[in-house]
Amino acid sequence: MSDAKCFTRLKASEIKTELETLVESKKANGTHRLTVRRQILKKIIANINLNNSDMVHLFPEVVDTVLTEPYASDLACKKMCYKYFEAFGAARPEGTLMCLPSMLRELTGTGDAYARSLILRCLAGIPLKQVAELLAEPIRGLISDEDPLVRKTACFAISKLYDCDAKLAARHNLIGLLNDRLYDENSHVVASALASLSEITEKNNTMKLVVNDSHARNLLTVLHRCNEWSQCYIISALTAYVPQLADDALFVVEKLVPLLRHANTAIVLNALKCIIYLSNYVEDITDAMPVLPKRLGNAMVSLIAKQPELQFLALRNVILVLLSKPHLLDLDVKMFFCKYDDTLYVKDTKLEIIYLLANAHNLKIVLKELEEYATEVDVTMARKAVRAIGNLAIKLPRGANACVQLILDLVAVDLPHITQEAVVVFKNVLRKYPREFDSAIQTFIKYTDLAVTALPSDANPFVNHHAPEADPDAVAAIVWILGQYCATIDGAVTILDRVTRDFLTDTIDVQLITLTAVTKVFLQLPSKDSEALLIARLKLATEEVDNPDLRERGFFYWRLLSSFPQDASYANAKQIVMNKLPVISTDSDKLDVAILEELELNIGTLASIYLKPVKQVFRLARTRILPQSACLVRKPRPVANDQHDALTRKISPINNPDLRANLELHGSYAGRAGSRDDFSRSDDDFVESFRETSMSSSSSLGLNKGIAAIGNVNRSLTRTGSMIGRKLTLKKN
Amino acid sequence: MASAVYILDAECRPIISRAYKFYPEEVYVPMLAQFATHVAHKACPPVVCVTGVNFVWVRHGDLYAVAICLDARANAMALVQFLQQWLDVLTSYLGKPVLFRDDVIDNYVLVYELFDEIMDFGVVQLTDYKILKEYIKLRADNFSIVENRKLHEDVEKAPKKKFSLSLKKEKPVEVSEIMDDAINASIVRTTINEINWRPKGIFYKKNEIFVDICERIHFVYDLTQSTIHTNIIRGAINVQCYLSGMPLCKLGLNEALTDTGKAFFHNLRLHQCVTAQLAKEEAAPSSNFSFIPPDGEFELLSYIHKSTASTKKPLFFVRPFFKHITTNGTHKLQVMLTLTTHFKQKVQGRRLLVVVPLHHYRIDYNRPLKFMTNELKGSNNSKIEIVLESESLCWELELYTGNSEYKMMAEVELAEMPDEATFFHSRFVQGDEPESDSDNEASTYISNAKRRDRNHIVQKIKAESQGKTAADPFAVTIHFDLQLLSQGYSGLRIEFLTIEELTQKNIKYTSFPWIRYLIEDDGAGERAPDAVNRNVHGEYRFKWGRDKVVWVEEKKELNSETNKDSDPEKINGILTELN
């Protein structure tokens, strides 16, 4: 009979009758009774799994099974009964307590170790204080049982008891017993005790796992004698070891390096975490161990051959190490080139790594590869590749020319999604190198203005088909370029007119930028056309728009231009509007040292996947910092503490359901977040021009928010901008 | 770590679950619906946060294995690794490469018992099937499964017979022992022993060990620039061990076992049995090393070999040529391929597949595909067809030898001639297909594949080009399998292999080591359920550019066209002309 037949929802009464007939039937012999009883128990367990809470009524029957022969000595029956107790034990304390004595008797007896460990596991798994109390005494004996299997199970039982009733555990000094197990002769028991202790300390803010020198050495010798998961926990526990001498740290690192070759990915990553952690306690670890970066790099690269899920996690952690300790990872950027059948999230992460690894030496091949991605079928991937190219131009001043050339080549392909993205990044490039690419602007505008705004019907049908809607970011970028560089663009006024003719339906960002741009055009190229354009847009903004910010901005420019009637060349206004822009850089993607330090200590954990400090993912979690020691190498902390606070405050709520958005947002290469923030800046050029007088620095956000800068910076900045504008106009009045 | 582990069906409804910590199930179940919407997204990463609860998940066929955890410092990597290994354990138990909902339900008692053993209080305990199977035994009522497993083993064995003469395993399978529930205490203790990967007391009548050096080649060549883009060999030494007792194997390679400096190996990864022995002997890694192997199949070591780009010649070379002909309003595409093999003539390979993606063309399927090869008439060696599912031209060679040249020309009629100017941009147009469409295609593809019962390679290629992303239209791909004679493609060689029984020094048995050198495919990212079947292939991709395409405007009478195609001489003429 197949088990699937048990998998039907039954009522407790039905099973009861079935049991009764079994008891009453006379012809059934012992073995038959046993098989039928097993079958009935199977049905009960299946029903528990189907979330059938009706099964709780069968408690007396199950207790009966455990207490009567021959079922009580049948392992299969017992296993199932234990499962039942674990599920419903807490719901029926009186029933549980009834069968407890016999179970405890067997537990403390001298029977089979396997059977005893099963009982122990079951009893500890019942979240009932009475059970915990009764179990606390026998467990003291069991933890030093002669059978290692029982000792091992007892280790976990203690952490379960602790979870159930912490006071009880403290009263019976169970933690102390667990500590003693760390010196057990059996390596598996040691590992279990460690795992159990770290579970307990993780939850408790007053306790801390401390591994001292001799113990660390002991753990290292034990390491090779355990199974893979025990190894995993031991290595993890080694991060609690605080070396007092650089040599001690090096000794541990040396022992850990061979583990980087282990087939189990979790071990590799834990070893990496531990090595990175210990490297903080050695003045210059690459000096002491020149091969280390190569070994770490190799270890990470070989993880790329694993299943996509594992790959992804490994790559996320590569990013982390590259951000905090790039000198410890010697990687060949070629190994991170995407394969065409990689899953999307792996490709994404690889792209980030490529960006981080790019330097003047490998720029050529990197750009070639990025060009491939940019012309890829997948639109999101193509966009990201284009973005990465633009960011490389900003990151590597010497390679900027090559990057810009590539962007121009890509734009020439005339595909809307590429063009839109290209405009956005090109704008950033212009911000970084204000006068260098003047010659390229003309070509650029020629290709882009149509594609970006996706004019209906009269435009190229191809474009229409693929870009049903214009990308507001791209429109904003092109408007900014037109405004800023109108002097170098032929027919800038006409183009600007065309691009912004849907002024009223544009998004608020685009509208704000439009106002600034038309003002700039008017100031730089005073002519009938530009004046007409300016007046038309200002009129719309002040008369037909409901948004107070936008209206105020319109009034502001209006007043600015009309307040100095005697100044025919608008020298004052020019000085204000066309003020020198602050140069952007990617230096801001360097994260705060404290955040990096914390992330680094969490390699391989969930926090490393979200690339966010633990505190932000889980409010209650404890922040981990590098423990002090004589040999701790402290890095200078360039980032002031208050700024750290500012960054953390802006972080989106922890329970953001959209992880994808999170990952995208927190990408270390300028993701959407980065470029958006930048918009609000460029749109607020005029804010910047007042910066010196009104505000020393409204915000120090740059191009790349990097990991921690998140959230609605965009909105808040826009708001700040108009507030200042309003204040100023009030003063004037 | 994990608070609970679930197996969910395709709609993310729980099939079976086990809570490891004291949290009521009601907490997560409502979140599963939200989780489902996340997972449905193509780019959903394996870790998802739904309102503060973390779902770590791995996909397996139609099922999801999900670990739920509430702790930020839970080791995500360990969880994913655990889920993968756990699925491996399940598949090994049930003897099926891919599990379905009913498999899990049919064996829920087993799954439950496994839940107990693999994890305790959210801490992973043991995921080694070889050990687990010794003390969680299948019940008698799962006889159908035992049968399946035997069948499956037979299937596995079948292809291997091709390679070595005697591959009949005389495994002391415990099918007969399955009935008894008694657990051998020594086996339970294995989990907490020093050598925890091998139980004591294994006995085989015939002691055999199979050592395969499997190398997967990933090779990308740019034909326009005549440069090798990538040439990476990922290799592994796979061992199938059927030896009695506690054998100590000593293996000698021709390369030292280090991966520092200019060593042969990069990213060397050793099985625990090797590292443990090295640590025990405190020996520096050299080219000779010893190990106590686990029972059955395992990967002894894996590596990447990189330094081949300049020194190693590619095994194959293909030169494509595309001719677009417009004659009196009909459009034709001629594809000419020249394939040369560059290895010893006596080495023979089976099954080579050249795939030319044509999905960027609009092919007129009403007209027959015409093709021609330079092989002798009547030889059934080549098979050329358009694979509808992936819209690509497949040229399959049943048998090929080293140092030879194969040519082929195929002609299809096009419904529409691609524009010469935008030809190299046409791939973008392809990418905009609505997603639902491709799903439909995938399902028809499955039924098609079933109907036609194609061979393994073809199916795999299709799955690749279908499932994830469409293949690059401007690259010709070769898939092949090849068994080399004396050494791996990278040059790795096994110098010697000796076996010595440790526990009973006086009983010496004769053992039979078998060694093979194989080239495998580069499907590394996928979980290959049929990993046992080594009969797979390497992958070569040749990217081509503008110089490989011509547009011809022919204004001839209609009958000349038929003449040309039926004349093999003429085609051969064209082919030689091209070279």
Q: Give the start-to-end residue ranges of the domains of chain A.
A: 489-578
Strand partners, B63: B60
Strand partners, B215: B235, B519
Q: What are phi and psi of A661, to 5 degrees?
A: -60, -40
Task: Report chain B residues whose CB lies below 8 A from the CB of A3.
Answer: 105-109, 141-142
Q: Could you tell me which residue, A392 or B221, shows the higher pLDDT?
A: A392
Over 70: is that where the pLDDT of B186 sits? no
User: Which range scores top for mean pLDDT: A371-380, A511-520, A569-578, B39-48?
Assistant: A511-520
pLDDT given at position B537: 46
Q: What mean pLDDT comes out for the span B549-559? A: 57
Look up the CATH number of the domain holding residue B296.
2.60.40.1170
Q: Which of B211, B176, B234, B178 is nearest to B297 (CA)?
A: B211
Residue A330 is which amino acid? D
Rounded distance between C-alpha atoms, residue A517 and residue A153, angstroms: 72
- Residue B109 maps to a domain: yes
Over residues A208-246, the pLDDT tens digits come to 777 888 888 888 888 877 788 888 888 888 888 888 888
Smallest CA–CA distance, residue B216 to chain A, in Å, is 11
Over 70: is that where the pLDDT of B442 sits? no
Contacts 24+ apart (CB under 8 A), B14-17: B15/B63, B15/B101, B15/B104, B15/B105, B16/A49, B16/B104, B16/B105, B16/B108, B16/B111, B16/B112, B17/A49
Over residues A466-491, the pLDDT tens digits come to 344 567 888 888 888 888 888 888 87
Q: Which of A523, A572, A538, A587 is nearest to A689 (CA)?
A: A572
Rounded distance between C-alpha atoms, residue B190 and residue B194, angstroms: 8
Specify whether B357 is located in the same domain as B472. Answer: yes
- Residue B150 maps to a domain: no
Task: Report chain B residues whose CB lies below 8 A from the CB of A49.
Answer: 16-17, 108, 112
Q: What percent of chain B has pLDDT over 70?
A: 63
pLDDT given at position A169: 80
Buried b (16+ CB within 10 A) or exposed e, A206-245: eeeeebeeebbbebbebbbbbbbbbbbbbbbbbbbbbbee
Q: Of B82, B106, B127, which residue constitutes the final position of a domain?
A: B127
Average pLDDT over chain A, rounded to an integer = 74
Q: What mean pLDDT comes out for the span B135-144? A: 48
Q: What are phi and psi of A544, to 5 degrees?
A: -115, -5
Least confident interval from A533-547, B60-74, B189-203, B449-463: B449-463
User: Which residues of A, range 61-80, sit inside 8 Å of B by Cβ?
Assistant: 74-76, 79-80
Comparing alpha-carbon positions, the chain B residue that sits nearest to A293 is B260
Distances (CA, A) of B41 to A313, A383, A657, B558: 18, 19, 14, 52
Torsional sign, CA A142, A144, A149, A152: positive
Specify whether B349 is located in the same domain as B223. Answer: no
Residue with tokens 């209080």: B121
Q: What are phi and psi of A330, to 5 degrees?
A: -100, 105
- Residue B189 maps to a domain: no
Cβ <8 Å between A375 and B428: yes
Rounded distance between C-alpha atoms, residue A684 and residue B96, angstroms: 62
Interface test with B, best of A155, A262, A605 (most B CBs within 10 A): A605
pLDDT given at position B283: 67
A621 interfaces chain B, CB cutoff of 8 Å? yes
Rounded distance between C-alpha atoms, residue A338 and residue A350, angstroms: 7
Local confidence band at B189 (pLDDT 50, 70, 90 cut-offs): low
Over 60: is that where the pLDDT of B559 sits? no
Local confidence band at B27 (pLDDT 50, 70, 90 cut-offs): low
Task: Report chain A residues whose CB lies below 8 A from the CB of B47.
Answer: 313, 606, 609-610, 659
Specify whether B343 is located in the same domain as B464. Answer: yes
Specify whether B23 is located in the same domain as B44. Answer: yes
Specify whether B280 is located in the same domain as B409. Answer: no
- Residue B25 maps to a domain: yes
Q: Could you tell me which residue, B14 or A71, shows the higher pLDDT?
A: B14
Specify whether B510 is located in the same domain as B467. Answer: no
pLDDT given at position B184: 44
Comparing alpha-carbon positions, the chain B residue that sits nearest to A300 is B267
Q: What mean pLDDT comes out for the span B221-238? A: 79
Specify whether B353 is located in the same domain as B282. Answer: no
Number of separate domains in chain B: 3
Over 70: is that where the pLDDT of A547 sits? yes
Specify whether B387 is located in the same domain as B270. Answer: no
Q: Are B554 and B325 in contact (CB under 8 A)?
A: yes
pLDDT given at position A576: 78
Q: What mean pLDDT comes out for the span B364-382? A: 75
Q: What percent of chain A has pLDDT over 70?
A: 78
What are the helix and strand counts (H, E) for chain B? 13, 27
Segment (H or E) for B241? strand B227-242
Over 60: is that where the pLDDT of A714 sits? no
Local confidence band at A670 (pLDDT 50, 70, 90 cut-offs): very low
pLDDT given at position A586: 64
- Residue B472 maps to a domain: yes
Paired sense of beta strands B288-291 and B247-253, if any: antiparallel
Tokens describing residue B504: 């009973």
Over 70: is that where the pLDDT of B307 sits? no
pLDDT given at position A616: 67
The SS3 call for residue A593 is: helix
Specify whether B120 is located in the same domain as B254. Answer: no
Other Cβ atoms closer than 10 A to B164: 13
- Residue B347 maps to a domain: yes
Which of B116, B126, B144 is closest, CB to CB, to A227?
B126
Q: How many residues are present in chain B?
A: 579
Comparing alpha-carbon positions, the chain A residue that sits nearest to B187 is A114
Rounded distance between C-alpha atoms, residue A277 and residue A679, angstroms: 38
Rounded distance between C-alpha atoms, residue B276 and residue B195, angstroms: 9
> What count of Cα atoms within 13 Å lies in the side-chain half-sphere of residue A493?
17
- Could you check whether the bond before residue A70 is cis, i.e. omega within 30 degrees of 0? yes
Q: What mean pLDDT comes out for the span A383-401? A: 87
User: Which residues of A, range 399-428, sit inside 8 Å of B by Cβ?
Assistant: 413, 415
Rounded distance between C-alpha atoms, residue A457 and residue A464, angstroms: 7
Over residues A193-204, the pLDDT tens digits come to 888 888 888 777
Residue A98 burial by Cβ neighbours in a 10 Å radius (0-12, 13-18, 19+): middle
Rounded distance between C-alpha atoms, residue A523 and residue A518, angstroms: 9
Rounded distance between C-alpha atoms, residue A416 and residue A469, angstroms: 10
Over residues B246-283, the pLDDT tens digits come to 888 888 888 777 766 667 777 777 887 887 777 777 76
pLDDT given at position A543: 86
- Residue B193 maps to a domain: no
Over 60: is that where the pLDDT of B324 sits? yes
Task: Report chain B residues whose CB lies below 8 A from the CB of A341.
Answer: 464, 468-469, 525
Q: What mean pLDDT comes out for the span A248-254? A: 87
Spatial strand order of the sheet with B14-19 comes to B14-19, B4-8, B63-69, B53-60, B47-50
Residue B283 is which amino acid? A
Q: Could you tell me which residue, A434 or B180, shows the higher pLDDT?
A: A434
Average pLDDT over chain B, rounded to an integer = 69
Q: Are B100 and B61 in contact (CB under 8 A)?
A: yes
Over 60: is that where the pLDDT of B31 sits? yes
Helix residue ranges, H only, B472-524: none
Q: Are A353 and A322 in contact (CB under 8 A)?
A: yes
Specify whether B330 is located in the same domain as B270. Answer: no
Q: Are A444 and A408 in contact (CB under 8 A)?
A: yes
pLDDT given at position A720: 37
B199: alpha, beta or left? (left if phi > 0; alpha if psi -120 to 50):
beta
Tokens describing residue A531: 């004046």
Q: What mean pLDDT comes out for the span B89-110? A: 81
Specify whether B291 is located in the same domain as B373. Answer: no
What's the domain range around B282?
A: 207-311+483-533
> What count of Cα atoms within 13 Å lies in the side-chain half-sphere of residue A319?
31
Which residues, other chains included, contact A99 with Cβ-Cβ below 8 Å and sequence gap of 6+?
Answer: A63, A66, A67, A85
Comparing alpha-carbon positions, the chain A residue that sits nearest to B137 is A76
Torsional sign, CA A117, A122, A125, A131: negative
pLDDT given at position A348: 85
Q: What percent of chain B has pLDDT over 90?
A: 0
Residue B533 is which amino acid? N
Q: What are phi and psi of A295, to 5 degrees?
A: -65, -45
Specify whether B323 is located in the same domain as B460. Answer: yes
Comparing alpha-carbon positions, the chain A residue that sits nearest to B266 is A298
Cβ <8 Å between B266 and A298: yes
Q: What are phi and psi of A207, to 5 degrees?
A: -100, 155
Strand partners, B18: B5
The SS3 call for residue B257 is: coil
- Residue B256 maps to a domain: yes
Rounded distance between C-alpha atoms, residue A40 and residue A36, angstroms: 6
Least confident interval from A127-141, A353-367, B454-468: B454-468
Rounded distance between C-alpha atoms, residue B485 and residue B496, angstroms: 16
Q: What mean pLDDT comes out for the span B2-27? A: 78
Q: Could you tell me which residue, B534 or A529, shows the higher pLDDT?
A: A529
Cβ <8 Å between B192 and A114: no
